[in-house]
Amino acid sequence: DADVTQTPRNRITKTGKRIMLECSQTKGHDRMYWYRQDPGLGLRLIYYSFDVKDINKGEISDGYSVSRQAQAKFSLSLESAIPNQTALYFCATSDSPGLYTDTQYFGPGTRLTVL
Amino acid sequence: QKEVEQNSGPLSVPEGAIASLNCTYSDRGSQSFFWYRQYSGKSPELIMSIYSNGDKEDGRFTAQLNKASQYVSLLIRDSQPSDSATYLCAVNIDNTDKLIFGTGTRLQVFP
């Protein structure tokens, strides 16, 4: 089984709809991240969580919210989807660092289309 | 605004050649550097991490870090068509564990 899973893998929705993307991990990592990827813009950080009680905004948090339900689960919500939120969304996890930043491991991604 | 810059490519090399991918970064305080490979429509997967100046080798891959010049590179020896992918450079910023990613270099290895 995959260490980091995302559901759904593909979603088409309409403008104004609320949508939730879910991420689960079995790696036992404390840290979880949500990114979006757009052609030509690379991966951009939306939100991150260093433990269950710690939620932080990333580079592009407007229009998004998150919930860290447990160490293993981190959900991303679009309260009212708009077409420019059409993108590929990735969840990632990492262990608590030692001296250096730990590697981030990515889920398979969710392709979201907002019509 | 902290940045990581990569040439978008495509970088085309013949099978068996050495592919050289470069990345520059703006945050002088960055300490952790990563190269990820991403096939089209798939998730990024780690190729190598590097933390100290100099070279780090792993099989056909060598990462090179020069903090004074703020660049990190990835060399792929004996390139194979299966190496054709986009290579993402990632760097930690603001003395935190947040990563900023470059937009990636697309590598094409032709037979």
For residue B10, cis peptide bond before it (omega within 30 degrees of 0): yes
Q: How large a percentage of chain A has pLDDT more than 90?
A: 86
Q: What is the pLDDT of residues B23-75, one digit of tens each?
A: 999 989 899 999 999 999 999 999 999 999 999 999 999 999 999 999 999 99
Q: What is the DSSP string of B23-65?
A: EEES-TT---EEEEEE-TTS--EEEEEE-SSEEEEETTEEEEE
Q: Between A and B, how many residue pairs show a Cβ–Cβ distance under 8 A?
A: 53
* Residues in a beta bridge with A106: A92
Among A49, A101, A103, A112, the residue to mutate for chain B (most B Cβ within 10 A): A101
Chain B residues with at least one Cβ partner in A under 8 Å: 8, 31-32, 34, 41-46, 49, 51, 88, 90, 92, 96-104
Of residues A89, A69, A70, the one with CA closest to residue A10: A89
- Shortest CB distance from A103 goes to which of B43, B46, B100? B46
**Residues A101, B32: C-beta atoms closer than 8 Å:** yes
Q: What is the pLDDT of residues B65-109, one digit of tens each?
A: 999 999 999 999 999 999 999 999 999 987 788 899 999 999 999
Q: Mean pLDDT throughout A26-51?
A: 93
Q: Mean pLDDT throughout A52-80?
A: 95
Q: Are B72 and B96 in contact (CB under 8 A)?
A: no
The answer, yes or no, to whether residue A1 has pLDDT greater than 80, is: no
CA distance A41 to chain B (A): 6
